[in-house]
């Protein structure tokens, strides 16, 4: 079974600085998708970024980018120019393209604190 | 698009009462997922549907929990009888079956069982 591990329960960063959140996963599949979701105090789960495993280019969405290392099964999220609104719980998630009908496997989450 | 709609947003009930949570997925999405989130156990997948058919309910904690999806635009999660340990935030999410595959979450229902 696929597993997703986020080894950092908590992280903190100064406003305007850069922070990287780690995620590793275990799978025997070659085609899959990876996602980062953000859950602010409002508890709404918001998609931040996605990465297709067949793409070598790392995904980027404004200040958010990923470092996808397929061989190492690593998928880290980099937040540049951190803002107070980035403070949230961040979840890494995995989805294979088999018969799971879109089921996501989530990591345990990382709480990010942004200091002014 | 209105997004995934859940109701109620908050529910407070007494132990032993029946609780029904409701979800309207995004139009055109054919997969629907129910999650539970607690501090102790994190985010747990309870059950998911594809084209209104339950695919995997192995995450449903016990027989007190049941879920239905009578049509493509509505699903319910029912707890009967409710217990204090059921207190959690319950999320509904939906997705398309094709790429890019991400799930869109509703705002959640915060359930408190006293």
**What whole-number distance in Å separates Cα of residue B41 and Cα of residue A103?**
18
| pLDDT(A16) > 70 | yes
B104 touches chain A (CB under 8 A): yes
pLDDT band for position A58 (50/70/90)?
very high
Contacts of B5 (CB under 8 A, 6+ apart): B23, B24, B106
| pLDDT(A100) > 80 | no
- Those residues of chain A whose CB sits closer than 8 Å to some CB in chain B are 33, 35, 37, 42-47, 50, 52, 91, 95, 101-104, 106, 108-109
Of chain B, the percentage scoring pLDDT greater than 70 comes to: 99
| pLDDT(A77) > 70 | yes
**Do B31 and A102 lie within an 8 Å CB cutoff?**
yes
pLDDT band for position A94 (50/70/90)?
very high
**Of B42, B48, B108, which is closest to A43 when you measure between CB atoms?**
B108
HSE-up of B18 (CA within 13 Å, CB side)? 6
Question: Which pLDDT belongs to residue A101?
Answer: 67
Mean of pLDDT over chain B: 93
| pLDDT(A6) > 70 | yes
Which tens digits make up the pLDDT trace of B4-24? Answer: 999 999 999 999 999 999 999
Q: Which residue of B has its CA nearest to A110?
A: B42
What is the three-class DSSP state of B85?
helix
Q: Phi and psi (nearest 5°) for B85?
A: -70, -5
């Amino acid at each position: 079974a696929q597993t997703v591990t986020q080894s950092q329960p908590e992280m903190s960063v100064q406003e305007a600085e850069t922070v990287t959140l780690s995620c590793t996963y275990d799978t025997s599949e070659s085609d899959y998708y990876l996602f980062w979701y953000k859950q602010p105090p409002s508890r709404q789960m918001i998609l931040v970024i996605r990465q297709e495993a067949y793409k070598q280019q790392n995904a980027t969405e404004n200040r958010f980018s990923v470092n996808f290392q397929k061989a190492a099964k690593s998928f880290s999220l980099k937040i540049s120019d951190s803002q107070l609104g980035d403070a949230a719980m961040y979840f890494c998630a995995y989805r294979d393209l088999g018969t799971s009908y879109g089921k996501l496997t989530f990591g345990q989450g990382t709480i990010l604190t942004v200091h002014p | 698009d209105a997004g995934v709609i859940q109701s109620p947003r908050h529910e407070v009930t007494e132990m032993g009462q029946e609780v029904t949570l409701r979800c309207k997925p995004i139009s055109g999405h054919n997969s629907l997922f129910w999650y539970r989130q607690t501090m102790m156990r994190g985010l747990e997948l309870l059950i998911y549907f594809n084209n209104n058919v339950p695919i995997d309910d192995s995450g449903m904690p016990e027989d007190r929990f049941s879920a239905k999806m009578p049509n493509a635009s509505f699903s319910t999660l029912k707890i009967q009888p409710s217990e204090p340990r059921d207190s959690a935030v319950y999320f509904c999410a939906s997705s398309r079956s094709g790429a890019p595959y991400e799930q869109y979450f509703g705002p959640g229902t915060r359930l408190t069982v006293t």
